[in-house]
Chain A
Amino acid sequence: GQQVMQIPQYQHVQEGEDFTTYCNSSTTLSNIQWYKQRPGGHPVFLIQLVKSGEVKKQKRLTFQFGEAKKNSSLHITATQTTDVGTYFCRGSGNTGKLIFGQGTTLQVKP
């Protein structure tokens, strides 16, 4: 069945370093969403990408959707302690299936 793999599972960075998480789907996605979940909290929507090759920015966060619409990335420039949490991608397949990646947990050392 359709799978969405997310890597890495964990990432520890020093404050100020950059961070990237990657999301790869076994099938073409109609769109992809990114969510952030703080420890003990619930997922909070960050952004949705729909078009092939789309790039969107939110301050220090850059989101990309691959040309083949099978992969995506989230890049954070100059991490801050407030960036701590787990970042999930959620793919929507052409059949409408909604699948979350396993998440990347980011720890930022001050």
Chain B
Amino acid sequence: GAGVSQSPRYKVAKRGQDVALRCDPISGHVSLFWYQQALGQGPEFLTYFQNEAQLDKSGLPSDRFFAERPEGSVSTLKIQRTQQEDSAVYLCASSLVTPVGRAPTYEQYFGPGTRLTVT
């Protein structure tokens, strides 16, 4: 079946431009996560949705970062007035909350990421 998809795969933006990054999670996955991964580093948590509710946005580095998931499926991460330090790979992951009565499993399925370069 289809995995998590992200678009665009690569984005070059001039400093000060706004960008919008899209994530299509696996169909039926309730949870959706955004991460920022700098070169040579582990993914850094940005924000988390359960359905359309943004339950945790504590990782967003500034108010220039905004994420939404209005219908509980596709999500968009928007970065306003991009800065050079925003250059990174932005990863989206989704997970299926297991039914009640089974051992909790929060395996996350990652998309290929969007590589953002701010010049």
Give A contacts to B, CB under 8 Å. Answer: 6, 31, 33, 35, 41-45, 48, 50, 88, 92, 96-103
Contact = CB atoms under 8 A, between A and B. Distances in A.
A100 B33 CA distance: 13
Contact of B45 (A44, A45, A98, A103): A98
A31 B58 CA distance: 20
Contact of B43 (A44, A97, A100): A100
Interface of B: 33, 35, 41-45, 48, 56, 58, 91, 93, 103-113
Contacts of B111: 42
A45 B43 contact: no
Given A42-B91, A96-B56, A98-B33, A48 B106 contact: yes
Contact of B41 (A43, A45, A103): A103
Contacts of A44: 110
A88 B41 CA distance: 10
Main secondary structure of the interface of A (DSSP, over half): strand
Given A44-B110, A100-B43, 11 more contacts: A31-B106, A33-B106, A33-B107, A42-B113, A43-B108, A88-B42, A98-B45, A98-B48, A100-B45, A101-B42, A102-B42
Residue of B48, B107, B109, B111 contacting most chain A CB atoms (<10 Å): B107
A9 to B, nearest CB: 9
A88 B48 CA distance: 19
Contacts of B43: 43, 88, 100
Given A42-B91, A42-B113, A99 B45 contact: yes
B110 A43 contact: yes
A92 B106 contact: yes
B108 to A, nearest CB: 6
B91 A48 contact: no
A40 B56 CA distance: 28
